[in-house]
Chains A and B, each alone.
Chain A
């Protein structure tokens, strides 16, 4: 079993980190489910350390100006825009 039981408070904390509001029922439901799922993840404790020798190569290209979306296209899905910019909520 997990040595870190997940309670409602922990679910609320993680939800805050992830910027997802949750209803009270959701918090309770997730807390119960996460206990099961994280207990299942504990099987990873048995995994030995593995030397991972991926043969990766860097993919480079010259940094050249190319056609992109127009400003109008980039803004086309935003709920609020102002003078050609995205308009977001205040930061604090």
Chain B
């Protein structure tokens, strides 16, 4: 199965700690710093960058006794929905090797599905854990913003992204979340809620009395096979004692535009650190500006350049109020909309992805079409909420994911309901 290209670097880091992950192998997404190991972010810019320190989540994996087996492939700097924009070639979906594994944590999900790792870490800025989990038929959790430390995660859009687990089952994903969650002095956006968590214990599958809200806006645009599989899984939860009602999230139509304005704006700022001087590809001779611009021309792929330029444009004089400020309003609106819905229901349910996994190469030409695929996942990041993608079944022989979204820090309810779907 080496042909999947799930890893950029295969390197075994053993731990002799006797923790909850002793004997488990873990794949770590290649934008998470690992001391002494190449950390490329899927970019030619960082082809030979070796991280001089461990991300907090990597220290926690080691303390828990996990064996790291490699750095998994990803869309360059986390920018993509298919894992085709990696400078190290696309990853293939183990379920159907002519298809994409989803992205941007595609290598992590493919490694777990193919059994090349027991568990994996991904990062989710607009759906990058949940999308590949859905396309590869495994479980992925995007935690509440602040639950897991981002120290050592190479930033793309830091107000949106969280590190989270990918695993074959809900209880294994929950166990990995228990290991990585909790306050960290090196990331002042972390909170204490996850300090003594026992999310694994929540995976008992009891959904009696639980109410689910299904936003009509997230069903309407989805593929027929996806929608059928989604409703089958809702029926299954009903049979186990849950109820559902249709809800409306009026703001959601604007979420995608707001997400791309905010994400590209933050990207244009965060990726300004790649000047080719302190690390990364060198721009060579010339004055600072020439050298800087040449390093970035050679080091970044098309999608990364596209997003840096879109973000620079959105923040430039004359457009700041039109794009960035309005996007922040939309973000506040999305957050308030979710809060209103959670007054009535325990969880929000939808298909994770509105489509089935595309074939390799099929979706690359039109960036806007690709951005539209993220419609169901990005509202969660804008609202800083937790969400899980759990396999809901198949359509045309391909995996479909069910997404469950919970109120802030209510990972337990979400994990409980997801375990009832398995």
Which residues of A pack against B, CB within 8 Å? 4, 6, 10-11, 14-23, 26, 30, 33-34, 36-38, 40-41, 43-52, 59, 61, 69, 73-74, 76-80, 86-92
Residues of B within 8 A of A43 (CB): 253-254, 257
14 residue pairs from A and B, CB less than 8 Å apart: A17-B312, A19-B272, A21-B297, A33-B306, A44-B257, A47-B258, A47-B326, A47-B330, A50-B336, A61-B188, A77-B52, A86-B277, A90-B288, A91-B287
Q: How far is the CA of A84 from the CA of B57 in the complex (A)?
A: 31
- Could you tell me which B residues sit within 8 Å of A by CB distance? 49-50, 52-53, 185, 188-189, 253-254, 257-258, 260-261, 268, 272, 275-280, 282-283, 285-294, 296-297, 300, 302, 305-306, 308-310, 312-314, 316, 319, 322-323, 326-333, 335-336, 367-368, 371
Distance of B60 from chain A, by nearest CB (Å): 19
- With both chains docked as a complex, state the minimum distance between the C-beta of B156 and any C-beta of chain A, in angstroms: 15
In the bound assembly, the distance between CA atoms of A20 and B322 in angstroms comes to 24
Which of chain B's residues have a CB closer than 8 A to the CB of A91? Answer: 287-288
- The chain B residue sitting closest to A61, CB to CB, is B185
Q: For the complex formed, measure the closest distance between the CB of B179 and the CB atoms of chain A, giving whole angstroms.
A: 23
**CB-based contact A34/B328 at 8 Å:** no
* Smallest CB-CB A-B distances: 3 pairs: A77-B279, A21-B297, A52-B332
Distance in Å from the Cβ of B190 to the closest Cβ of chain A?
Answer: 9
Question: Do B368 and A36 touch across chains, with their CB atoms under 8 A apart?
Answer: yes
| B332 x A88 contact (CB < 8 A) | no
Structural contact, A92 and B287, CB atoms closer than 8 A: yes
Q: A69 — which chain B residues lie within 8 A by C-beta?
A: 52-53
Find chain A residues with CB under 8 A from B50 CB. Answer: 76-77
Contacts of B276 in A (CB 8 A): 79
Q: Which residue of B lies closest to A33 (CB)?
A: B367
Q: Is the interface of A mostly helix, strand, loop or mixed?
A: loop
Closest to A92 in B: B287
B309 touches A15 (CB 8 A): yes
The answer for the CA separation of A50 and B277 in the assembled complex, in Å, is 42
Q: How far is the CB of A38 from chain B (nearest CB, A)?
A: 8
Q: Which residue of B lies closest to A52 (CB)?
A: B332
State whether B261 touches A44 (Cβ < 8 A): yes
Given A47-B333, A48-B329, A76-B50: A41 touches B323 (CB 8 Å cut-off): yes
Residue among A44, A45, A86, A87 having the largest count of chain B Cβ atoms under 10 Å? A44
A49 to B321, CA, bound (A): 12
Q: What residue in chain B is nearest A80 (Cβ atoms)? A: B282
CB distance from A70 to the nearest CB of B (A): 9
Contacts of B257 in A (CB 8 A): 40-41, 43-44
**A17 to chain B: closest residue by CB:** B312
Query: In the complex, which residue of chain A has the Cβ closest to the Cβ of B305?
Result: A20
A18 touches B312 (CB 8 A): yes
Q: Which residue of the partner chain, among B52, B253, B297, B368, contacts A33 with CB atoms under 8 Å?
A: B368
Q: A73 touching B188 by the CB < 8 A rule?
A: no
- A47-B254 contact, Cβ under 8 Å, with A73-B52, A78-B279, A86-B277: yes
Given contacts A43-B257, A50-B336, A77-B279, contact A37 B329 (CB under 8 A): no
**Distance between Cα atoms of A10 and B268 in the complex (Å):** 17
